[in-house]
A and B are shown apart, each in its own frame.
Chain A
């Protein structure tokens, strides 16, 4: 026994300490509980992995039967294999760094203990998600991280926009979770179990008695769940709004870990997806559309966090493109490198925002290179990594994806290359607008403290060198050998696209800053379309939100509730009142009238007894 349960249990303990007693504890104790628990969890992961050795087959710990009902038998089982190992290191490692950073970033905020309690709770659920050995336990983590995401997006709950963004994230995720639940029902019906090993062994075996159409349906429903959690078309709309949360949350949950849960889930279900080429095809299309759409929107945004949010959506699209092309290992590789450089981009952006006392608009920045040199340096490291400049981390994982896409459909490679160029352009656009030119804002900029810049430097090192961690080779026992030759021409083209993107950004925002505005005027139609994010939110409002709200108001509220339910209750009351009003006339207060009633009653009684021989 390697006590896998300790890995999620440690952050849970941190959550309990801060959640129950955090209000009364001093800040140092809150920090110790929150950061200490995550660091201990990370160390326990490292210790376990060292003890388990090469880990070519999954190691499973079965604790107890959780649900036993008829044929349904679900255990509380945790398993660890190479895929889980990668995810565990990302979640606890990056999570630990972001916890440390948050101690500096949140130092002056109210609800300090509450923030760290939620963050620890998130770590707990995320670790349950990646350690789960069956679909239902994975779903527990899946729902839990969704809850924490909601709580943390709405952390500044006095701001209406933050509360709205939290609700939006929650509701949109419900749609995905609905698909995930249906997929689990179908898996239970088809395979008779929810345990990964049992299901995947049956799915891989020939003549497993499950119709191919059912497997395709399961995969498409799982994809719907993944699209909700990992912000894919058409459910990506919640992620840009989720930037209302504190920046460490954007980095940890909405860039590095939680949003990659969908990628993890699809990779975990690879034996199912491999049985259904049609579903894989849908996955690759969803990924490609998401990547292009989000990248084009990212070109025109001015909120520094929104730029990176659309970048996250776009990069997640890349990962789904990899999954859809059958290159699961490349997808997970990109999950890891993306976790490095995107966490760094967000934390760096947070450091800029912190330096400018809350300013997020790129138009109010500029010339900060000299004032906050550390932040500038690490952000450039992240930018060259995401732009795919060799030999930094993004270059390795993005090329793995693009080569896989080329093997899948050559045209997808070309669209992917164009997107890579746009990615490089919008990231460097943000960098140039923020750090070059002259300062356009009013706040007095100051460099962040070491507690914030320390994690940034670690992440910068990982962003630069992370590509040399050979994830695809490490994952071979799970996903099979990496196929396809390493075509140097294709690699060169994608690198050229990235460099071209950087060059155009340099031209637009450093050399001749008037150029982009001129272009925006010439192409005002497309520019407005992109600036307003393709009007997707407006379309959803018109097509879904307004009909539901109007229908609820007119039919459910005015009709069913006020008309029928209230009407029935009030009707009973008024009938009783009317009957009582009639009967009240009997109670006149005149003795002789009472006597008359008594006599009348007596006469009736005598009549009944006398003429009809009593009441039958």
Chain B
């Protein structure tokens, strides 16, 4: 068996991707970018699932990652629709300007 990539590398990559996504979510103001950051976090989690699935030789992680992909696709469809509507109504993509959801 050729020299394997160590498990920790996958997990570090997953953590880096997740942190990047979270940071982007918090720091970026463009709603499209924020949306992409969410996808990034979801895929970081997918990577962790697949890694552990491979490590323990079980199929659960694979199945979970498919579920995540399905949800992500659905979420993308709904989210993009919301973004389009917001843009039509407000002519902006700044998240901080969309703050009417408070008491």
Which A residues are within 8 Å of any B CB, using their own CB?
A: 584, 587-592, 595-596, 599
Question: Is A589's CB under 8 angstroms from B102's CB?
Answer: yes
CA separation between A595 and B31, bound complex, in Å?
A: 13
Q: Which residue of A lies closest to B29 (CB)?
A: A592
Question: Is B98's CB under 8 angstroms from A591's CB?
Answer: yes
Which residues does chain B contribute within 8 Å of A596, judged by CB atoms? 26
Which residues does chain A contribute within 8 Å of B102, judged by CB atoms? 587-589
**Given contact pairs A590-B95, A591-B98, A584 touches B26 in the complex (Cβ within 8 A):** no
How many residues on the B side are at the interface (Cβ–Cβ under 8 A)? 14
**Given contact pairs A584-B103, A587-B102, A587-B103, A592 touches B22 in the complex (Cβ within 8 A):** no
Apart from the given pairs A584-B103, A590-B96, A591-B95, 6 other A-B contacts in the complex at a CB distance below 8 Å: A589-B99, A591-B34, A592-B25, A592-B34, A592-B95, A592-B96
Does B77 reach chain A (CB closer than 8 Å)? Answer: no
CA separation between A584 and B102, bound complex, in Å?
A: 9
B 20-64 contacts with A by CB, 8 A: 22, 25-27, 29, 34
Report the minimum CB–CB distance from A562 to chain B (whole Å).
33
Which residues does chain A contribute within 8 Å of B99, judged by CB atoms? 588-591
CA separation between A599 and B26, bound complex, in Å?
A: 9
Does B89 reach chain A (CB closer than 8 Å)? Answer: no
CA separation between A330 and B95, bound complex, in Å?
A: 104
Report the minimum CB–CB distance from A478 to chain B (whole Å).
84
* Binding site secondary structure of chain A: helix
**Interface code B69-103, partner A: CB below 8 Å = 1, 0 otherwise?**
00000000000000000000000000110111111
CA separation between A591 and B102, bound complex, in Å?
A: 10
Report the minimum CB–CB distance from B29 to chain A (whole Å).
8
Which residues does chain B contribute within 8 Å of A588, judged by CB atoms? 99, 102
Which B residues are within 8 Å of any A CB, using their own CB?
A: 22, 25-27, 29, 34, 95-96, 98-103
Report the minimum CB–CB distance from A58 to chain B (whole Å).
81
CA separation between A599 and B37, bound complex, in Å?
A: 14
CA separation between A595 and B98, bound complex, in Å?
A: 14
Can you report 12 residue pairs joining A to B where beta carbons are below 8 Å apart? A587-B102, A588-B99, A588-B102, A589-B100, A589-B102, A591-B34, A591-B98, A591-B99, A592-B95, A592-B96, A599-B22, A599-B26
CA separation between A587 and B101, bound complex, in Å?
A: 9
Question: Is A595's CB under 8 angstroms from B25's CB?
Answer: yes
Which residues does chain A contribute within 8 Å of B27, judged by CB atoms? 592
CA separation between A590 and B31, bound complex, in Å?
A: 12
Which residues does chain B contribute within 8 Å of A591, judged by CB atoms? 34, 95, 98-99
Which residues does chain A contribute within 8 Å of B29, judged by CB atoms? 592
Which residues does chain A contribute within 8 Å of B26, judged by CB atoms? 592, 595-596, 599
Which residues does chain A contribute within 8 Å of B34, judged by CB atoms? 591-592
CA separation between A187 and B76, bound complex, in Å?
A: 90
Report the minimum CB–CB distance from A598 to chain B (whole Å).
9
Report the minimum CB–CB distance from B51 to chain A (whole Å).
18
Q: Which residue of A lies closest to B99 (CB)?
A: A589
Which residues does chain A contribute within 8 Å of B96, judged by CB atoms? 590, 592
Which residues does chain A contribute within 8 Å of B25, judged by CB atoms? 592, 595
Which residues does chain B contribute within 8 Å of A584, judged by CB atoms? 103
Q: Which residue of A lies closest to B96 (CB)?
A: A590
Q: Which residue of B lies closest to A596 (CB)?
A: B26
Report the minimum CB–CB distance from B94 to chain A (whole Å).
11
